[in-house]
Amino acid sequence: MNIRKNFLNSLIKDLEPQWREFKFIIYLLKQSPLVIAGFIIISIFIIAAIFAPWIAPYGPEERIWAEQMQPPSFKHLFGTDENGGDIFSRVIWGARIDLSIALTVVGSAAIIGSVIGAISGYMGGKIDEALMRVTDVFLAFPGLILAMAIAAALGRNLINLTIALIVVWWPSYARLIRGVVLSEREKLYVEAAKAIGAKNTRIIFKHILPNVIYPLLVNATLDLGSVILTAAGLSFIGFGAGAGIAEWGRMISDGRNYLFQAPWMATFPGLAILLSSLALNLVGDGLRDVLDPRLRR
């Protein structure tokens, strides 16, 4: 009992600096009204996505045939589309699709990219050279266009769209992580770990990778915004979501056909894209400013 208590006490003591750092970061973040605004907006979207069945007044593909192309009113806050679908509900259901695509893409790309980047940076030599040339090739394309080509080769649906975006996004993470690993590799604590006989995998994953958490977090937050934009753009030009699916890009593409009769059809899904992406950028920018000590003036 005593030993356990001692252990806990020493653990708490050991974590004290990290805890203080964390509290300081939160304190700094709270100083910026823009970060708070971004955080609130993105929380609203996440809550809407999770609790869509309870929040949305209608189902994602529910139609009220008698109420086609109605302008916004109390009954239909954002109006209805050409099939009598409630736009407000569809925007909420759309948050589910678009946010989960963004999370899947950024999550997978970050994991794949980190592993490859860490191996590349730590091993150095020929492996590093080869892996970096591969990332060069992927980075030689503008993101949207490479994703277009891949999605076209795989076939047009939401799953292939997600795969295509992962293929496009991993190289930037590999580059980022490689850079951090390269500079950490030379530090004394790595040498110490080597000296006591730690294996390479242990050094990479236990000692070096924890150092990349912050840059990774900043990048991932900013990327979530760009993935939402890119996915919606691809969906708009006919990839991804099929007819009738409540996905924001697809809804805008449908609304385009009725732009002058029912402008609300394209307006509200577009606002959802703009706001969610903006909120993620605000939070990401704030995180970067706070986590980079050089910018903390």
Partner 1 sequence: MKMRDYIIRRLILFLPVLLGVSMLTFTLSHLVGDPVAAYVTSEKISEERIQLIIKAHGLDKPIYIQYLYYLRDLLRGDWGISRSDSNRPVIESIRNYFPATLELTIVAMSLSLLMGIPIGIISATKKDKPIDHVVRVFALTGVSMPVFWLGLLLQYIFYYQFKVHGLPYLPLSQRIDPFIAIQHPVKQVTGLLLLDSLISLNPYAFKSALEHIIMPAFCLSYVTLALIARMMRASMLEVLRQDYIILARSKGLPEKIVIYKHALRNAMIPTVTVAGLAFGGLLSGAVLTETVFAWPGVGRWSTQAILTSDIGGIMGFTLLIAIIYVLANLIVDVLYAILDPRIRLG
Between residues 67 and 285, which has the closer beta carbon with respect to partner 1? 285
* 277 makes contact with partner 1 (CB under 8 A): yes
How many residues sit close enough to partner 1 to count as binding (CB under 8 A)?
A: 46
| CA pair distance 219, 16, nearest whole angstrom | 27
Contacts of 135 (CB under 8 A, 6+ apart): 171, 174, 175
* 142 makes contact with partner 1 (CB under 8 A): yes
Query: Scanning residues 157 to 196, which ones bind partner 1 (CB under 8 A)?
Result: none
Structure tokens that stand for 130 in this block = 């080869």
How buried is 183 (Cβ within 10 angstroms: 0-12 exposed, 13-18 middle, 19+ buried)?
A: exposed
Nearest to 42 by CA among 281, 286, 291, 297: 281
* 282 makes contact with partner 1 (CB under 8 A): yes
How buried is 291 (Cβ within 10 angstroms: 0-12 exposed, 13-18 middle, 19+ buried)?
A: middle
Nearest to 175 by CA among 115, 113, 234, 94: 113
Structure tokens that stand for 218 in this block = 């900043």
Between residues 150 and 190, which has the closer beta carbon with respect to partner 1? 150
Piece of the chain touching partner 1 by CB under 8 A; list 71-79, 92-100, 173-181, 251-259: 251-259
How many residues would you count in the chain? 297
* 229 makes contact with partner 1 (CB under 8 A): yes
Query: Which residue in the set 11, 14, 263, 292 belongs to the binding site for partner 1 (CB under 8 A)?
Result: 263
Structure tokens that stand for 274 in this block = 């703009």
Query: Which residue in the set 103, 123, 144, 198 belongs to the binding site for partner 1 (CB under 8 A)?
Result: 144
* 133 makes contact with partner 1 (CB under 8 A): yes
* 134 makes contact with partner 1 (CB under 8 A): yes
Q: Give backbone dihedrals phi and psi of 156, rounded to 5 degrees, phi first.
A: -90, 100
* 270 makes contact with partner 1 (CB under 8 A): yes
* 252 makes contact with partner 1 (CB under 8 A): yes
Q: CB of 213: closest distance to partner 1 in angstroms?
A: 24
Between residues 48 and 280, which has the closer beta carbon with respect to partner 1? 280
Between residues 83 and 267, which has the closer beta carbon with respect to partner 1? 267
Rounded to the nearest angstrom, the gap between the alpha carbon of residue 244 and the centroid of all alpha carbons in its chain is: 25
Structure tokens that stand for 16 in this block = 């004290």
Map residue 157 onto helix, strand or coil. Answer: coil
In terms of phi and psi (left: phi > 0; alpha: psi -120 to 50; beta: otherwise), the region of 292 is: beta
Query: Which residue in the set 1, 153, 195, 243 belongs to the binding site for partner 1 (CB under 8 A)?
Result: 153
Residues 28/296, Cβ–Cβ less than 8 Å: yes
Q: CB of 19: closest distance to partner 1 in angstroms?
A: 32
Between residues 109 and 252, which has the closer beta carbon with respect to partner 1? 252
* 208 makes contact with partner 1 (CB under 8 A): no
Task: Name the residues that contact partner 1, by CB under 8 A.
Answer: 133-134, 136-138, 140-146, 148-150, 152-154, 156, 225-226, 229, 232-233, 236-239, 249, 252, 255-256, 259-260, 263, 266-267, 270, 273-274, 277-278, 280-282, 285
